[in-house]
Amino acid sequence: MKTVAVVNQKGGAGKTPTAVHLSFALARAGKKVLFIDFDSQATASLHFLGKKYREIELTIYDAVTKQQVIAPHQINDFYTFYLLTRNSQEQRMNYHEIQQ
Protein backbone atom coordinates (compact mmCIF):
# COMPACT_ATOMS: atom_id res chain seq x y z
CA MET A 1 0.00 0.00 0.00
CA LYS A 2 1.24 3.47 -0.87
CA THR A 3 0.07 6.73 0.64
CA VAL A 4 0.00 9.93 -1.39
CA ALA A 5 -0.65 13.28 0.27
CA VAL A 6 -1.07 16.53 -1.64
CA VAL A 7 -0.19 19.35 0.76
CA ASN A 8 0.97 22.96 0.65
CA GLN A 9 0.34 25.87 3.04
CA LYS A 10 -0.37 28.31 0.25
CA GLY A 11 -3.95 28.68 -0.88
CA GLY A 12 -4.68 28.54 -4.59
CA ALA A 13 -1.71 26.27 -5.34
CA GLY A 14 -3.84 23.62 -7.08
CA LYS A 15 -3.85 21.00 -4.32
CA THR A 16 -7.49 19.96 -4.73
CA PRO A 17 -7.51 19.67 -8.54
CA THR A 18 -4.23 17.74 -8.42
CA ALA A 19 -5.54 15.33 -5.79
CA VAL A 20 -8.91 14.88 -7.54
CA HIS A 21 -7.40 14.14 -10.95
CA LEU A 22 -4.65 11.92 -9.56
CA SER A 23 -7.10 9.84 -7.51
CA PHE A 24 -9.47 9.50 -10.47
CA ALA A 25 -6.64 8.35 -12.74
CA LEU A 26 -5.41 5.82 -10.19
CA ALA A 27 -8.92 4.39 -9.70
CA ARG A 28 -9.42 4.20 -13.46
CA ALA A 29 -6.15 2.24 -13.67
CA GLY A 30 -7.63 -0.28 -11.23
CA LYS A 31 -5.83 0.89 -8.09
CA LYS A 32 -7.63 1.06 -4.77
CA VAL A 33 -8.14 4.70 -3.77
CA LEU A 34 -9.40 6.19 -0.53
CA PHE A 35 -9.70 9.97 -0.89
CA ILE A 36 -9.86 11.70 2.49
CA ASP A 37 -11.13 15.27 2.21
CA PHE A 38 -9.77 17.22 5.17
CA ASP A 39 -10.07 20.59 3.45
CA SER A 40 -12.43 22.91 5.36
CA GLN A 41 -13.92 24.11 2.06
CA ALA A 42 -14.84 20.51 1.10
CA THR A 43 -14.24 21.25 -2.58
CA ALA A 44 -13.25 17.67 -3.40
CA SER A 45 -16.37 16.34 -1.67
CA LEU A 46 -18.46 18.76 -3.72
CA HIS A 47 -16.66 17.66 -6.89
CA PHE A 48 -17.22 13.94 -6.31
CA LEU A 49 -20.73 13.99 -4.79
CA GLY A 50 -22.25 17.26 -5.96
CA LYS A 51 -24.44 19.10 -3.47
CA LYS A 52 -25.39 15.75 -1.90
CA TYR A 53 -22.19 15.98 0.18
CA ARG A 54 -23.99 18.48 2.44
CA GLU A 55 -26.55 15.83 3.39
CA ILE A 56 -24.05 13.26 4.64
CA GLU A 57 -24.48 12.85 8.38
CA LEU A 58 -21.25 11.13 9.46
CA THR A 59 -18.09 12.68 8.06
CA ILE A 60 -14.36 12.76 8.69
CA TYR A 61 -15.08 15.35 11.41
CA ASP A 62 -17.01 12.72 13.39
CA ALA A 63 -14.24 10.19 12.94
CA VAL A 64 -11.61 12.58 14.27
CA THR A 65 -13.47 14.43 17.03
CA LYS A 66 -15.80 11.70 18.29
CA GLN A 67 -13.72 8.66 17.31
CA GLN A 68 -16.75 7.36 15.43
CA VAL A 69 -16.41 4.71 12.75
CA ILE A 70 -17.65 6.04 9.42
CA ALA A 71 -18.08 4.27 6.11
CA PRO A 72 -16.51 5.74 2.98
CA HIS A 73 -18.74 6.57 0.01
CA GLN A 74 -18.22 4.72 -3.25
CA ILE A 75 -17.52 7.07 -6.13
CA ASN A 76 -19.18 6.38 -9.50
CA ASP A 77 -18.88 2.90 -10.93
CA PHE A 78 -15.32 2.39 -9.75
CA TYR A 79 -15.36 -0.40 -7.21
CA THR A 80 -11.94 0.72 -5.98
CA PHE A 81 -12.62 4.44 -5.42
CA TYR A 82 -13.94 5.66 -2.07
CA LEU A 83 -14.30 9.03 -0.35
CA LEU A 84 -14.32 10.08 3.29
CA THR A 85 -16.05 13.41 3.10
CA ARG A 86 -16.24 16.65 4.97
CA ASN A 87 -18.95 19.27 4.72
CA SER A 88 -19.31 23.02 5.00
CA GLN A 89 -21.48 22.74 8.13
CA GLU A 90 -18.40 21.54 10.00
CA GLN A 91 -16.48 24.62 8.95
CA ARG A 92 -19.09 26.77 10.66
CA MET A 93 -19.09 24.53 13.73
CA ASN A 94 -15.30 24.74 13.97
CA TYR A 95 -15.48 28.53 13.81
CA HIS A 96 -18.06 28.68 16.61
CA GLU A 97 -16.08 26.25 18.79
CA ILE A 98 -13.00 28.45 18.48
CA GLN A 99 -14.98 31.58 19.38
CA GLN A 100 -16.28 30.07 22.67
Per-domain boundaries in the chain: 15-99
- Please, what's the b/e burial string for 5-34 (b: 16 or more CB within 10 A of its CB; e: otherwise)? eeeeeeeeeebbeebbeebbebbeeeeebe
Between residues 94 and 48, the one the model is more confident about: 48
Are the C-beta atoms of 65 and 31 separated by less than 8 Å? no
Q: Once rounded to an integer, what is the mean pLDDT over residues 8-32?
A: 91
Q: Which pLDDT tens digit goes with each residue over 27-85?
A: 999 999 999 998 878 889 888 888 888 888 888 888 888 888 988 988 877 778 999 98
Cβ count near 50 (within 10 Å): 9
**Would you place residue 98 in the very low, low, confident or very high pLDDT band (cuts 50, 70, 90)?**
very low
Cα separation, 44 vs 53, in Å, equals: 10
**Would you place residue 88 in the very low, low, confident or very high pLDDT band (cuts 50, 70, 90)?**
low
